């Protein structure tokens, strides 16, 4: 069993659907990750996709999803033994990284994430799907940290409405209506700390009212027994153990930033993942 996740924390995760905060990386390591992100922005400009949904958000386009295929430094993060030791008691010894999502809120930003359950629209079926949310900068009440509803992963899926609200960071503004926020708890994190939560857990985050960016990344781990139910094809990175199921095409580990082989698969995966995210949408697809 991981030294980072003892029996009490495992039991808390199963009962409440989350455990947080957990120190995994040092503040210095988190600062280096921020430097890598902002160096990339400086080199490639603020526009990664001309048809991105929100101007000024460089990770909102195709680089926002599955960027562990694009950047060697992020591929190393999702494979870091300290992180895998943390999730292994929850996923089992064989671990796939299904995707990564960047969440960057600029200072005094109007962007927010509405109440939702990831399990409602990702298509992946598993009772051991673990989201590891890594704080690159502080995540506080002021700058829009995650709020969640403990235990909501144990009930039926909640009804979502596609709002297409322009400031919502979710693909189609999918929202659980009439949430009793008095029952919510907030996940405040320091740089390098991680929150683990079940992908069925209802959660949200609010606007950044601070003078600094709030940067975090969601790393999505699954066992090989997981299945994609909304598409005939999907891919994932084998980050620990073996895959005896073959439910996902295994992704190459990039040998460098923008490794041509990994980039080619990323382009296919990005297009397919967007189809999954918008499947069953209640209105026409918004532009990313």
Give pLDDT < 70 ranges for the chain: 1-3, 45-62, 283-288
Contacts of 50 (CB under 8 A, 6+ apart): none
The answer to whether residues 239 and 95 touch, using CB atoms and an 8 Å cutoff, is yes
Contact of 88 with 128, CB cutoff 8 Å: no
pLDDT at 53: 46
Q: How confident is the model over 42-86, as pLDDT tens digits?
A: 877 543 333 334 444 444 456 788 999 999 999 999 999 999 999
CA separation for the pair 126, 115 (Å, rounded)? 21
Closest CA to 183 of 151, 146, 221, 218: 151
Q: Spell out the CATH class of 7-278.
A: mainly beta
């Amino acid at each position: 069993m991981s030294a980072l996740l003892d029996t009490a924390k495992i039991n808390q995760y199963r009962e409440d659907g989350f455990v947080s905060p957990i120190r995994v990386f040092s503040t210095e390591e988190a600062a280096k990750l921020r430097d890598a992100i902002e160096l990339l922005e400086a080199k490639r400009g603020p526009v990664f996709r001309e048809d991105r949904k929100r101007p000024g958000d460089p990770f909102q386009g195709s680089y926002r999803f599955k960027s562990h295929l694009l950047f060697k430094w992020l591929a190393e993060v999702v494979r870091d033994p300290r992180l895998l030791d943390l999730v292994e008691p929850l996923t089992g010894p064989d671990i796939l990284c299904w995707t990564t999502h960047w969440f960057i809120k600029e200072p005094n930003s109007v962007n927010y994430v509405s109440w939702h359950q990831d399990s409602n629209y990702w298509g992946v079926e598993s009772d051991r799907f673990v989201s590891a949310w890594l704080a690159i900068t502080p995540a506080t009440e002021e700058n829009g940290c995650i709020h969640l509803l403990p235990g909501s992963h144990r009930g039926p899926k909640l009804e979502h409405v596609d709002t297409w609200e322009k400031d919502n960071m979710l693909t189609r503004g999918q929202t659980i209506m009439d949430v009793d926020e008095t029952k919510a708890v907030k996940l405040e994190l320091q740089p390098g700390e991680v929150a683990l939560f079940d992908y069925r857990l209802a959660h949200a985050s609010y606007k950044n009212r601070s003078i600094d960016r709030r940067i975090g990344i969601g790393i999505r781990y699954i066992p090989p027994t997981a299945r994609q139910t909304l598409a005939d094809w999907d891919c994932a990175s084998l980050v620990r153990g073996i895959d005896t199921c073959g439910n996902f095409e295994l992704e190459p580990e990039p040998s460098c930033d923008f490794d041509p082989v990994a980039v080619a698969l990323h382009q296919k995966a990005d297009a397919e993942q967007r189809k999954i995210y918008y499947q069953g949408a209640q209105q026409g697809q918004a532009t990313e």
